[in-house]
Amino acid sequence: MHDNPNLAPPLLAALERHYDELVDHVRRRFRERSGDGGFAREVVHDVCVQVLESPPATAVHTPLAWLRTATSHRAIDRCRADDHRQSVVQEVSDLPEHHADPVDGAEALHWQQQLAALVRSVEALPPRARQVFLLQRLHGMPQQEIADAMGISRNMVAQHHARAMRAIEADCEPALRQAFPSCEALLDEARAQAARRRGRKRAASAAGGALAASALALLAWLDPAWRHETLRTAIAERSTLTLADGSTLMLAPDTVLLAQTRLFSRQFTLTRGEAMFSVGKGALHAWRPFIVHAAGADVRDIGTRFNVKLGEHGLQVTVTEGSVEISAPRPGAAPQRVLAGQAWTLDGRSAPNGPALVAPADVAQATAWQRGRLVFDGMPLAQALAEVQRYRHAPLRVLDERAARMRLSGEYDAAGVEALIDALPATLPVRVQRAADGSVAVHSR
């Protein structure tokens, strides 16, 4: 401890002198947890780390009293986290393994074989036809943009695309007939799809448009979801998952993410919380787009790393590397390209019909949760406490509008949210009331 003389020396000295007394203090207050004293010692060690990493901003005149309060708060946090973790473990034990639907191995193998056949068909195309097909089918580029980029006419683009579709149709026809034998069923689906898309602008020439539309409709049928999985984290828990293609998902506390493995795409639906997506690169990524759905918006990766946050106050997508293309839920809204260092925000109070805002992002703040930190920069108190709620099980409420609009700034340890709550009256004109059930009410003075 003496190696860090500048980090709150009175607290460090008091902790060293009163170490045994603090351990006894925790052991007496939490007898059912202490056992042989291991729990109490761990709590005091946590407080020691807290003092070293985040010493108080102002002088502490009664170090022992401060340490007793800090150890009590830390012990309460650990007890609540342990209790909630046990309850979640019990709930999860009653669910199917991995929260996944049963997968028919023969069916999965069948679709994988069809994917391999399609890959071979595309690789066998002439270079121009292959380039046009990939740009339009995988990357969604309009034919005029493709024509401008390749230095050819739009009509030539349509011809190359039609040639590619004819070749792919011929190779895939046996599989299509086996999977979808009913002509009427295909026509019904095509009519329903056309009705849903009526009114949208289509970039297709008269010569190749009809053929391309019908072929793309057939290819859409070949993107079934052959695996479903629900990923979730508990209060104060973070989780990281690495996919087979090298992509990684990092889930923030109290998050639910639905994952679908499809034949031609990887799709995820964020229903609650926050997650960071680091998308793998390579040939597999080019063939299987990576798409995240949240609050009616679709986020399509373009080789990148991005954070998606969904809460009662709205939806925010922050790009830290590469870029994404976002289709908003607002009718008629064109997709927006969001680059590294930018944030796309849809205000929950105006969704789903309000406009989205693209602006420079505070990446450090948006990704602070990955480092176990809570960072607020003039954030409304109601919104800030909604963030804090993800780290505690008991309810945390703001009782009046005046308190809800107050602005909170600062950086806090996500593992010490009780200390953050107790410190609110010192930074804002509010009162904090704690109930016996652990719930907290905050209201203006």
220-268: pLDDT as tens digits: 445 566 678 899 999 999 999 988 778 899 999 999 999 987 777 888 9
Query: Which residues of the chain fall below pLDDT 70?
Result: 1-8, 32-37, 83-115, 137-140, 169-226, 282-287, 348-354
Residue 157 placed within a domain: yes
CA gap 397, 403 in Å, rounded: 11
Tell whether 288 and 380 lie within a shared domain: no
Residue 1 placed within a domain: no
Among the three residues 164, 186, 221, which one is the final residue of a domain in this structure?
221
Question: Residue 431, SS3?
Answer: strand
Tell whether 280 and 336 lie within a shared domain: yes
Residue whose token pair is 């401060």: 66
Tell whether 261 and 330 lie within a shared domain: yes
Residue 418 placed within a domain: yes
Domain around 438: 372-444
Given a contact cutoff of 8 angstroms between Cβ atoms, the answer to whether 292 and 277 are in contact is yes
Q: At 354, which CATH number?
A: 2.60.120.1440
Question: Residue 217, SS3?
Answer: helix
CA gap 350, 328 in Å, rounded: 12
Among the three residues 221, 248, 268, which one is the final residue of a domain in this structure?
221
Tell whether 376 and 362 lie within a shared domain: no
Q: At 140, which CATH number?
A: 1.10.10.10
Tell whether 270 and 200 lie within a shared domain: no
Query: From start to end of 245-403, where are the E strands?
Result: 248-251, 256-262, 266-278, 290-294, 297-301, 305-311, 314-321, 323-327, 336-339, 342-347, 357-360, 373-380, 396-398
Given a contact cutoff of 8 angstroms between Cβ atoms, the answer to whether 243 and 262 are in contact is no
Tell whether 361 and 253 lie within a shared domain: yes
Among 276, 279, 346, CA closest to 316: 346
What per-residue confidence (pLDDT) applies to 166?
76
CB atoms within 10 A of CB 106: 7
Residue whose token pair is 């009718």: 331
Q: What global pTM score does this model have?
A: 0.53
What per-residue confidence (pLDDT) applies to 163?
82
What per-residue confidence (pLDDT) applies to 34?
58
Q: Is the sign of the CA dihedral 345, 347, 351, 356 positive or negative?
A: negative
Residue 233 placed within a domain: no
Question: Residue 254, SS3?
Answer: coil
Torsion (CA) 257, 79, 372, 15 in degrees, nearest 10: 180
Tell whether 201 and 300 lie within a shared domain: no
Burial of 69-87, coded b for 16+ CB within 10 Å and e otherwise, reads ebbbbbbbbbbbbeebeee
* DSSP one-letter code for 428: S
What per-residue confidence (pLDDT) applies to 3?
43
CA gap 67, 71 in Å, rounded: 6
Q: What is the pLDDT of residues 404-423, one digit of tens each?
A: 999 999 999 999 999 999 99
Among 408, 399, 393, CA closest to 444: 399
Q: Is the sign of the CA dihedral 133, 135, 138, 144 positive or negative?
A: negative
CA atoms within 13 A on the CB side of 352: 12
Written as six digits, the tokens of 128 are 């121009």
CB atoms within 10 A of CB 429: 11
Written as six digits, the tokens of 257 are 């993410």
Tell whether 354 and 416 lie within a shared domain: no
Tell whether 352 and 384 lie within a shared domain: no
Among the three residues 366, 397, 422, which one is the final residue of a domain in this structure?
366
* DSSP one-letter code for 99: G
Tell whether 351 and 247 lie within a shared domain: yes
Residue 3 placed within a domain: no
Residue 184 placed within a domain: yes
Written as six digits, the tokens of 55 are 């010493």
Residue 230 placed within a domain: no
What per-residue confidence (pLDDT) applies to 231?
92
Among 377, 430, 379, 378, CA closest to 403: 430
Please report which helix (H) or strand (E) contains residue 240, including its range. Answer: strand 239-242
Tell whether 80 and 152 lie within a shared domain: no
Domain count across the chain: 4
Tell whether 76 and 48 lie within a shared domain: yes
What per-residue confidence (pLDDT) applies to 16?
78
Please report which helix (H) or strand (E) contains residue 105, including its range. Answer: helix 105-123
Residue 4 placed within a domain: no
Question: Residue 330, SS3?
Answer: coil
Given a contact cutoff of 8 angstroms between Cβ atoms, the answer to whether 335 and 325 are in contact is yes
Q: At 434, which CATH number?
A: 3.55.50.30
